[in-house]
Amino acid sequence: MKKKDLILAGGICALALILWLAAQFFLPGNHRTIRITVDGELYGEYALEEDQVIAIGETNVCEIKDGRVKMIEADCPDHLCMHQKAIDAGGGTIVCLPNRVVIEAGKDDSGGGLDAVA
């Protein structure tokens, strides 16, 4: 390879990195939120940047703190959801099966992605 080819390849890689970083930090999307569903129905979407305690109906309570979410209370008999590790924007799921509560993080359901069927 010639020196000019290496400079061109490096420039393309740098441009791609800059565009990716801009898309991660400046474009709106759900990748920095959690999505809570109860019995398959959307209960709410909450930003991970805002520390808060969320009462999920009368059965569960989750806490968002420092960009991570954890189930802190549940009235189910086994409390397995409370023993699951905290999840963040990188992805993950907390499930309380007896109460049919699901907390998902890191999903982007904005419809702008690729269609897996196509």
Q: Tell me: the pLDDT tens digits for 58-75?
A: 999 999 999 899 999 999
CATH pick for 33-105 out of 1.10.287.1400, 2.50.20.10, 3.40.50.2300, 2.60.320.10: 2.60.320.10
pTM for the whole thing? 0.65
Closest to 54 measured CA to CA, from 70, 41, 67: 70
Domain ranges of the chain: 1-28, 33-105
Q: Which residue has the higher pLDDT, 86 or 27?
A: 86
